[in-house]
A and B are shown apart, each in its own frame.
Chain A
C-alpha cells in the first residue's frame, strides 16, 4: 500500500520541490498542482528540476483564488491523477506548498495501514462551526458568490447584502447535507473514487461553484455521503489567528512542532531553513512521543487574547484603549485613603505593617509625589516630580499600578492634593476608596492657626472635598467606595478601619494587636463650633457631638491667645 500526495503550490517553488522529493523518496507518489497565476517560466523550471522522477507528476493547472472554485477543481484533478496513475495508492493526502511533513513517511504509511477504511477529514455541520470569520457559516451555502472577495470586495459585500435583503435561499441538490472543515484531508481511494464518479457530480459541481470557500466544504460534504468511516479531524496541524489567517511556523517553533505528534504542519515560513533541514533530513529519527500536543494551541490562544483583549491596565505605543474599553483601567487593585492620616497618628506605618502592602503618602501632594520611605523614584523609574506627574496624572497612576504588578499599592489622598485623578479612579473597579469627609478639620484644629484664618481654609478644603466625593457618588462610579463623615466614622473608628483593611491584607489578619493611635480630638468640637459661629456650614463633618457652649468660648480664646503668643 501507499499514500499519494496532492501538493497545491502557488509560491516558494524551491520548497515545493524539496518536499515533493522527500515524499517521493519515502515511496509516496506526488502530484503537484501549480497555481495558474504562477508565471510559466517558473513553472517550467520546476518541471525541469523534477524531470525523471517517476513518482512525481504535474496536474493540469487552474487559477486558484482564495474562496473560489479553482482550488477544488485543482485538488479534484490532481487526486484523479493519483488514483489513475498509481494503483497501489490506498489513501490520498491533500497538502499545500507550505506544508511540511513532521514525521518520517514510514510512520504515516504505517498509521494509514492500520486504518485502511478510515477517511480523515474534518467535517462538521455549519451551525456547529464557530471558527469562521465574518459569520458566513450558513450563508456560504445559501447565497450565490459570483464575485471575488479579494479583488472585488465592494461587489462581494453588495451582492451578499442584496441577496440577504431579497431573502435568497439557494436550492440544494437532493441528498446533500452541507458540512465544512479544514481543507487538508486524507481520503481513502474508495471514498475518493465514489465522490469523483458520483452520477450526480455535475449537479454537485454546479452547486459548489457558487458556494463561498468551497474548498472547505466540497469534499467535507461529499465525504459524508460516500465515506464508510469518517474520522472528523485533519492529520495536518494548522491553526488560524483571530483574523482568520493561518499561523505561520518559524525556526523557533521547532520544539513545538516536534512535540505536536502531527504528521504534517502548515504553514511553514519558506525561509525557515532550520525546520526544513530538521524535518526533511534523511537521518530523521522516528518521532518522539507527542509529549504535549496542546502546547501549540495554548500558544496561539494566548497570542489571540493578547491581540483582542490585551493586558489590563497597560497603556503603551500599540495599546491605547478608548475610555471604557480597557478591560480594566488599571493593572490591579489599589487602595486610596482620604482623611485617615488626619485622624490617626502614624497611620501609614501602621497600615503597611498590618496589611503587608506598599503604603505611600499623598501621591498627589502639590509639591511632589510622596512615595513610601521618601524615595525619589519607584519601580519603572517613575519620578516623584510634581511637574511630570501633573502633566498627565492618569498616566502617572496607571504607570505606578502597572509597574508594581503583584504588590498592592495604598496611598493617601485629600482635599489639599492636586485634584483631577478622582474622575479616573471613581469608575475603576480596581480602586478601593475610603473617605472620611471633614477629617481635614482635625489637622486644622491641631495646627494652632487662628479660627479666623482657618475659616477660609476650611471653606476651600470642604469645597474641594465635596467635588471629589461627588465623583464617588456619581452613577458611573464602580470603585469599592466607603464614605463616612467624620462624626459617623468616630462612632466606631476601629471596626470601621478594620472593615477596610480586612479587604486588602495580604496575610490573614490576626486580631488587631496594635490599634492605630487616634489623634487627640480634645477641643475639636469647640473648634468646629467656632467655625460654624463664623458662618461656615460644615455638612462634611456631620453631627459631631457638642461639648457645650464653654468649650466653644475656650477654643476661641486659645486660638486668639495662640496668635498673640
Chain B
C-alpha cells in the first residue's frame, strides 16, 4: 500500500509488525519506537476495517503491505514477517513486535536504542531477549477508556512481579516462560496452555535467519541462547504488553469467531469466556510500573554487564 523502503538507510534500526484493527494503539506505538530512534517501520496490515491502515500509509517512515489472506495460514503472521525480514532486514538490527508491545531495555530512559545495538555489536551478540510483561489496569478492564495517542501505561500500569515459571525447550534451546495475570486468571487449571511469554524481538538480522513460532524462538538455534546457564545474567529487556485494556472482551469474541489464532484460538476462547465477566486482574500484590530500573531490581530483566 505504501512502499517507502527506498528510504531505509544502511544503519537504520527497523521495526517489523503485523497489525489488524489496532488503530487506537498505533499513534503511541509509532511514537514509542520513534523516540528510541527507530528509522523505519515495515508493517503488514491484515485486513483492517478501522482505518488503521490508512493512518499507517500516511506516515512518512512507514512501509505498509496489505494482506487479506488468512492470518492462520500465514502461520499467525510469521510467514509475512519472515519474508519482510529476509528481504529488508538483512544486516539491520530488527525489532519484531506487535502494536500492543512496547519495548523497554536497560537505560532506555537515557540512551537511545542504537546505544544498545552498538553495545550488542561490540559484544558479538546477535539476538536480544525481552519477556512479555502483561500490564493491566486496577479494576475492571472496561472501566477506563484508552484514547488514541495516550500512553497505555497511564491506564494499564500494573503487573505481576514474580509469578513466572520457566522450562528449557530442548529442541530449539529457548526457554518457555509462562505465568503472569493471564495464567493465574484464565489458565490456573491448565497452566500448560497459558500463553508463552518468552520473546526474542531484537535481532541483528541475516537472511538465513527465521522466526519459528511468533517471536518466541528462531533458527538457527544459537539465536535462542539469550540466557546464561552458568549462573551469570545476560542483558535483557521487557515488552510491556498492553493487550489488557478496554475492548479486550469484544476483541476476544471477534477473534474466536474468526478462528485465526493459534491452537484454534484456544487462548481467545478462554479470554472470551472469562472476559465476558469483565475481569479485574488487580490483586493487593500487584506492582505499579515506574521504569526499567524497577523491572531490573525485580529481576524481570537484566543489565548484564552493560553499565
Contact = CB atoms under 8 A, between A and B. Distances in A.
Contacts of B229: 320-322, 325
A314 interface: yes
A262 B306 CA distance: 22
Contacts of B177: 317
A165 interface: no
Interface stretch (A124-132, A200-208, A388-396, A535-543): A388-396
Contacts of B244: none
A216 to B, nearest CB: 19
A379 B162 contact: yes
A85 B285 CA distance: 71
Contacts, number: 179
A385 B183 CA distance: 11
Contact of B303 (A248, A303, A377, A399): A303
B170 interface: no
B233 A319 contact: yes
Interface string B59-97: 000000000000000000000000000000000000000
Interface residues of A, number: 52
B147 interface: no
User: Which of the listed residues A314, A320, A322 has the most CB atoms from chain B within 10 Å of its own CB?
Assistant: A320
Interface string A279-322: 00000000000000000000110111011111100111111111
B183 A381 contact: no
A511 interface: no
Contacts of A308: 231-232, 305
A383 B305 contact: no
Nearest to A254: B110
A315 B166 contact: yes
Interface string B293-304: 000000111111
Contact of A381 (B165, B188, B286, B301): B286
Contact of A320 (B112, B161, B168): B168
A93 interface: no
B4 to A, nearest CB: 24
A252 B107 contact: yes
B266 interface: no
Given A385-B184, A388-B191, A380 B166 contact: no
Q: Per DSSP, are chain B's interface residues mostly helix, strand or loop, or mixed?
A: loop
A321 to B, nearest CB: 5
B170 to A, nearest CB: 13
A376 interface: yes
A376 B160 CA distance: 14
Nearest to B131: A317
Contact of B163 (A306, A314, A399): A399
Given A302-B307, A308-B232, A319 B283 contact: no
Given A252-B111, A320-B229, A388-B191, A306 B302 contact: yes
Nearest to B132: A317
Contacts of A395: 164-166
A448 B233 CA distance: 54
A50 B241 CA distance: 50
Given A311-B299, A318-B236, A383 B188 contact: yes
Contact of A251 (B110, B160, B164, B165): B110
Given A319-B227, A381-B286, A307 B233 contact: yes
Interface stretch (A102-110, A156-164, A238-246, A451-459): A238-246
A166 B60 CA distance: 64
Nearest to B161: A380
Given A377-B284, A380-B285, A388 B183 contact: yes
Given A388-B188, A391-B165, A399-B164, A378 B234 contact: no
B239 to A, nearest CB: 11
Of B131, B190, B231, B235, chain A has the most CB atoms within 10 Å of the CB of: B231
Given A317-B236, A379-B285, A327 B162 contact: no
Contacts of A392: 165-167, 191
Contacts of B164: 316, 395, 399
Contacts of A380: 160-163, 285, 287
Nearest to A378: B285
CB-based closest 4 A-B pairs: A380-B162, A307-B305, A395-B165, A303-B307
Interface of A: 241-243, 245, 247-248, 250-252, 269, 271, 299-300, 302-304, 306-311, 314-322, 325-327, 376-383, 385, 387-388, 391-392, 395-396, 399, 402-403
12 contacts: A250-B111, A271-B112, A307-B232, A307-B233, A309-B231, A316-B301, A316-B302, A318-B236, A320-B229, A321-B231, A380-B163, A388-B165
Given A307-B304, A327-B231, 13 more contacts: A241-B305, A271-B112, A311-B233, A316-B299, A318-B233, A318-B235, A318-B301, A320-B175, A377-B285, A379-B161, A387-B190, A388-B179, A395-B164
